[in-house]
Every structure is written in C-alpha cells, then in structure tokens.
Amino acid sequence: MQKSSSAKGLSNTSFVTRANLESDADHWVPSTDVICTDDGIVIKVELAGIRKEDLELTMEANRMTVSGQRQDEMRSTSKCSFQVMEINYGTFETTVDVPDGYELSQARAAYHNGFLRVDIPRSSAGPFDEVQVS
C-alpha cells in the first residue's frame, strides 16, 4: 500500500525512526501515522497484543518516544516449530520529533483496541513547521 504525500503539513520525508533498530532481530518499529490537523498533530501507533502496562511514553524537549515490549508466550512456554512467522515480538520503539508551534507538554494519550493515540495541540503563537520523526 502506498502512502499519500499530499497530507496537510507533511512532506515525503520518513517520519518514523528506524535507525539502529532494523539490524537487531530483537527490536522492531511499530507502524506509526502522523496526521496534521487544524487543531494540532495526531500520532497513532499500532500496538496490537501489547498490554498497556508494557508501554512507555516519554516526552523530552520536542521529542516523543513510544517504547515497550510485546511478549511471545509460544516461544517461552512450549517447544514449537514455526511454519509462518510474520508478527514482531520483543522490544520496540518509535520516535516523533515535534516542531515549534505545538504544545508537547499539553499532549493527551489514549490506548484503545491496540492503538495508542496521542493528540498534541497547536500553541497559540509561533510558526507551524512540518513534523519530523527521527
């Protein structure tokens, strides 16, 4: 599936940090959407099968990071032979750099049906730059 680059406020730049994670089989990067709206930014992270208590959301300066771990009970509890293996398990992380013009300190997060949604409002003053995920 091809993603549209015509979304409001977005460019063709990759928005999700994948550096140093793809080379390690124990780490993975969840699918992440960054949507610019008139009110701010909406970040959605797909985290099916992950318990809320296994998630960590950190915000530092202009950077938001979602990390945690998805457990795999099959590998740890029984002897098995995988026939198809497409689901990522283990440690994950995704990071979004939020530009000036948005209030990361006022962000609100909710986790429902395997999706983490973070709403970041626009600030009342200042320029509104494109969101960069690194």
What is the per-residue pLDDT across 23-81, written as a single tens digit (0 to 9) for each? Answer: 456 689 999 999 999 999 999 999 999 999 999 999 998 899 999 999 887 776 667 78
What is the per-residue pLDDT across 111-125, written as a single tens digit (0 to 9) for each? Answer: 999 999 999 999 875
Q: What is the pLDDT of residue 129?
A: 55
Both tokens assigned to 41: 């930014």
Q: What spatial distance separates the first Cα and last Cα of the chain, rounded to whole Å? A: 22
Domain 27-72+86-121 is of which CATH architecture? Sandwich (2.60)
pTM > 0.85: no
Contact 112, 119 (CB under 8 A): no
How many C-beta atoms surround the C-beta of residue 43 within 10 A? 23
Q: What is the pLDDT of residue 131?
A: 62
